[in-house]
A and B are shown apart, each in its own frame.
Chain A
Amino acid sequence: DIQMTQSPSSLSASVGDRVTITCRASQGIGNDLGWYQQKPRKAPERLIYGASSLQSGVPSRFSGSASGTEFTLTISSLQPEDFATYYCLQHNSYPWTFGQGTKVEIK
Chain B
Amino acid sequence: EVQLLESGGGLVQPGGSLRLSCAASGFTFNSYAMTWVRQAPGKGLECVSLISTSYSTYYADSVKGRFTISRDNSKNTLYLQMSSLRAEDTALYYCASDMRKPYDYWGQGTLVTVSS
Q: What CA separation (Å) do A43 and B3 show in the bound complex?
A: 13
User: Which of chain A's residues has its CB closest to B48's CB?
Assistant: A95
Contact residues, A66-102 vs B (CB, 8 A): 87, 89, 91, 94-101
How near does chain A come to B75, taking the closest CB pair, in angstroms? 22
Identify A96's interface contact among B50, B61, B94, B109, CB under 8 A. Answer: B50
Q: What CA separation (Å) do A96 and B100 show in the bound complex?
A: 10
Interface size class of B (residues with CB under 8 A): 20 to 34
By the criterion CB–CB under 8 Å, are A98 and B107 in contact?
no
By the criterion CB–CB under 8 Å, are B109 and A49 in contact?
no
User: Which of chain A's residues has its CB closest to B109's CB?
Assistant: A43
> Is B44 at the interface (CB under 8 A from chain A)?
yes
Q: Contacts A96-B47, A97-B47, A101-B44 hold; do A91 and B108 have CB atoms under 8 A apart? A: no
Q: Contacts A43-B107, A43-B109 hold; do A91 and B44 have CB atoms under 8 A apart? A: no
By the criterion CB–CB under 8 Å, are B102 and A44 in contact?
no
User: Which of chain A's residues has its CB closest to B64's CB?
Assistant: A95
> Is B79 at the interface (CB under 8 A from chain A)?
no
Q: Within 8 Å CB of B107, what residues of A?
A: 43
Q: Within 8 Å CB of A99, what residues of B?
A: 44
Interface size class of A (residues with CB under 8 A): 20 to 34
Q: What CA separation (Å) do A101 and B40 show in the bound complex?
A: 13
Identify A98's interface contact among B45, B104, B108, CB under 8 A. Answer: B45
Q: Contacts A43-B108, A95-B47 hold; do A89 and B58 have CB atoms under 8 A apart? A: no
Q: Within 8 Å CB of B35, what residues of A?
A: 96
By the criterion CB–CB under 8 Å, are B44 and A34 in contact?
no
Q: Within 8 Å CB of A32, what residues of B?
A: 100
Q: Within 8 Å CB of B94, what residues of A?
A: 43-44
Q: List 29 A–B pairs whose Cβ atoms lie within 8 Å, in order of A's numbering.
A: A1-B61, A32-B100, A34-B104, A36-B45, A38-B45, A43-B94, A43-B109, A44-B106, A45-B106, A46-B99, A46-B104, A50-B102, A53-B102, A55-B102, A56-B103, A89-B45, A89-B47, A91-B99, A95-B58, A95-B60, A95-B61, A96-B47, A96-B99, A98-B44, A98-B46, A99-B44, A100-B44, A101-B44, A101-B45
